[in-house]
Amino acid sequence: MRDLVYPPVIGFAKTAFKVLDLKIRLTGTENVPRTGGAVIALNHISYVDFILGGFGAVPSKRLVRFMAKDVLFRNRYSGPLMRGMHHIAVDRSAGTASYREAIRYLNDGEIVGVFPEATISRSFELKEFKSGAVRMAAEAGVPVVPLILWGTQRMLTKDHPRDFSRHRAIAITVGEPITVGTDDDAAEATAHLRTTMAGMLDRTIRDYPEQPAGAWWLPASYGGGAPSPAEAERLDQEELARRAARRK
């Protein structure tokens, strides 16, 4: 597919990173395949994860086609960009079409980016995973590449004001590709992926240069002030209830 929009967007993002003087630490980027299809599975802690997550594939000279909410494609500002970069719109009420589109991309040798948690984690720890990432990889015969982001939640996330202060530390950790066979149980493969990414997240947090006790962006289990996973789930349910009430 022709990419007239994606390269300039990457150039703009790199310029923004320099202006903000982001201290980006890339680890394991050699695990992103230089050719052929692959599913990149990312944790989700921020609204800017699409930008920084895609940056993890740049050293391998690959472009990531993210599966994202269809509302972003309907927006007058983000819509043209999302379509121009050939991302995949996901309508949660009719997900089969986006799933088939992702399979087509993978068969064509593209890299598809998936957030198995589906929504941002308020606890900044891993939520439960959906099985779509491993099912797509198995059907298309491509690997799943786990990728962990850390520090992006300090820039723009749920329940906190945006903060694009300069000199922010960002960590991007890419794990070894995971092969999923067509005969593998999807639930077991998804559990294995989540366990792998949980270990990567733990190492990434512990290696992060800042560990201030009580910080709102640090998980409670690491001495931070973020909601516990149980509390985060309660907040998620309250948010869903408010949305339902607005729709009525």
Alpha-carbon distance values, 209 to 13, 41, 124 (Å):
23, 24, 17
Spatial distance between the Cα atoms of 222 and 203, rounded to a whole number of angstroms? 12
pLDDT tens profile 183-203: 999 999 999 999 999 999 999
What confidence score (pLDDT) does residue 69 get?
92
pLDDT tens profile 46-71: 999 999 999 999 999 999 999 999 99
What confidence score (pLDDT) does residue 91 get?
87
pTM reported for the whole predicted model: 0.95
* Arithmetic mean of pLDDT over the chain: 96
Cα dihedral 237, 193, 110, 85 sign: positive
What confidence score (pLDDT) does residue 94 get?
73
What confidence score (pLDDT) does residue 56 get?
95
What confidence score (pLDDT) does residue 214 get?
97
Residue 150 contacts residue 98 (beta carbons within 8 Å): no
- Is the pLDDT at 147 greater than 90? The verdict is yes
pLDDT band at 159 (very low <50, low <70, confident <90, very high): very high
Spatial distance between the Cα atoms of 15 and 2, rounded to a whole number of angstroms? 23
What confidence score (pLDDT) does residue 79 get?
95
Give the pLDDT mean for 152-181: 97
pLDDT tens profile 67-93: 999 999 999 999 999 999 999 999 877
Token couple for 77? 């500002």
Give the pLDDT mean for 14-27: 97
- Name the E strands within the chain: 23-27, 38-42, 64-69, 88-90, 111-114, 144-150, 169-174
